[in-house]
Amino acid sequence: MPRPISATIHLSSLEKNLSIAAEVAHESKVWAVVKANTYGHGISRVYPALANADGVAVIDLNEAEHLRALGWRKPILLLEGFFDDSDIPVLDALNLTTVIHCPDQLRMLEVGARSGQLKPGSVDVVLKMNTGMNRLGFTPDAYRSARARLRAVSAVRSITHATHFADADDDKGVKNPLLVFIRAIGDLHGPVSAANSAGILWHSETHREWVRAGIMLYGGSPSGDWKDVSCFGLQPAMTLQSKIIAVQKVKPGQSVGYGSTYTATHAQRIGIVACGYADGYPRMASSHANHYAPVCVGGYATRTVGRVSMDMLTVDLTDCYGAEIGSPVELWGKNVPIDDVAAAAGTIGYELMCALASRVTVNVEN
């Protein structure tokens, strides 16, 4: 028998979440962001659920090539653009839309067009403006000049204005950077892409012609707090589950796990679960300083106790009536929001999705 831990990818949930993005931003087209192997869910696995997206957004050419090989014929956006002169011919060959965010990329595109590596009118460009994130993008002062140079490139078919907000998921919001963005664009024509998942859900003024749905597609919250998105009806696209493989009875004063970081204050039943940090479960979700990660055992809500180790973690079974060896354990999914587990580990759901280990068996259901 294989080790009992597995993950299940729910295609119907991803389809539902995509439809929510389209409904909330009902006047916009939707880029489905599938970078990082679709946030750890697997491009090949989730591909059937992407059919209603207007385009998909990736990070590198390998992801784009994989999607074309799977049969995707709609637009593909390179979110960081290309990285080398040798990438230029691939833009044409795979019919890609590319971000341009710096002078070096602009120069490479100009050279590629002049040398004949790109056919006239073959490339759609998303021109990135830095409105305060200070990662990628032309400054507002340099933006118009960059756009003028792009318009002079024979290979450029269209130009979309774009930016990315640093604080769309918290109280700072988008007001100031959006104002900078709008002022810099001024009377320039062309579609706009500004909203990520946080913008889609909470800032309708950012929707415009294109929105970029990322974490919300997978049922996670942009803010890291599930309560912030529960009203939208998002559904988790991944469930991580395992089973109880042993049960211990501990007395008051006895400790559990490495380092004896948890000491029982009363008699408890402790369940040992076949899941550890080598499976992608965060070690920092170990119980400490009155913090612990939620777990669901046989339908009962409970919590981790003691340290998460490489292959196992321990949970409190005291109030999980009927729980025994073989009882099902949900580590995250419908009953245990991944954002709550991430919060217990001091991180975000994005990281847990992306960190799912290759040794975990993955199943796909509609």
Residue 77, pLDDT > 90, answer yes
Residue 338 belongs to domain spanning: 238-365
Answer yes or no: do 67 and 204 share one domain: yes
Answer yes or no: do 175 and 268 share one domain: no
Portion of the chain with pLDDT greater than 90, in percent: 93
Among 220, 252, 268, residue at a domain's last position:
220
DSSP 73-135: -S-EEETT---SGGGHHHHHHTT-EEEE-SHHHHHHHHHHHHTTSS-TT-EEEEEEE-SS--S
209 within a domain of the structure (yes/no):
yes
d(CA 296, CA 298): 7
Q: Which two three-digit tokens encode residue 12? A: 């119907």
pLDDT, one tens digit per residue, over 96-123 is 999 999 999 999 999 999 999 999 999 9
Mean pLDDT of the chain: 95
Residue 131, pLDDT > 90, answer yes
Answer yes or no: do 185 and 306 share one domain: no
Q: Across residues 229-245, what is the average pLDDT?
A: 96
- As for how many domains the chain has, the answer is 2
Answer yes or no: do 252 and 113 share one domain: no
Q: What is the pLDDT of residue 333?
A: 97
Answer yes or no: do 92 and 193 share one domain: yes
Answer yes or no: do 266 and 323 share one domain: yes
Answer yes or no: do 246 and 310 share one domain: yes
pLDDT, one tens digit per residue, over 263-322 is 999 999 999 999 999 999 999 887 665 678 999 999 999 999 999 999 999 999 999 999
d(CA 39, CA 36): 5
Answer yes or no: do 191 and 259 share one domain: no
6 within a domain of the structure (yes/no):
no
pTM: 0.94
d(CA 96, CA 347): 33
16 is catalytic: no
74 is catalytic: no
Answer yes or no: do 164 and 70 share one domain: yes
d(CA 39, CA 278): 18
Q: By C-alpha distance, which of 304, 265, 256 is closest to 284?
A: 304
CA distances from 150 to 77, 89, 135 (A): 17, 17, 21
> Quick one: angle between helices 140-151 and 175-185, nearest 10?
40
d(CA 197, CA 244): 36
Cβ(286)–Cβ(304) below 8 Å: yes
Catalytic residue among 35, 128, 143, 350: 35
Answer yes or no: do 171 and 255 share one domain: no
Dihedral over alpha carbons 315, 319, 322, 325 (to 10 degrees): 10
Answer yes or no: do 324 and 293 share one domain: yes
Catalytic residue among 74, 172, 258, 334: 258
Residue 1, pLDDT > 80, answer no
| Residue 289, burial from CB neighbour count under 10 angstroms (0-12, 13-18, 19+) | exposed
Q: Across residues 222-227, what is the average pLDDT?
A: 88
Among 192, 220, 248, residue at a domain's last position:
220
Residue 350, pLDDT > 80, answer yes
Residue 355, pLDDT > 60, answer yes
Q: Which two three-digit tokens encode residue 363? A: 């199943």
Q: What is the pLDDT of residue 127?
A: 98
Q: What is the pLDDT of residue 349?
A: 95
- Per-residue confidence band for 323, with pLDDT thresholds at 50, 70 and 90: very high
Residue 73, pLDDT > 80, answer yes
Answer yes or no: do 82 and 192 share one domain: yes
pLDDT, one tens digit per residue, over 149-207 is 999 999 999 999 999 999 999 889 999 999 999 999 999 999 999 999 999 999 999 99
1 within a domain of the structure (yes/no):
no
Q: What is the pLDDT of residue 230?
A: 86
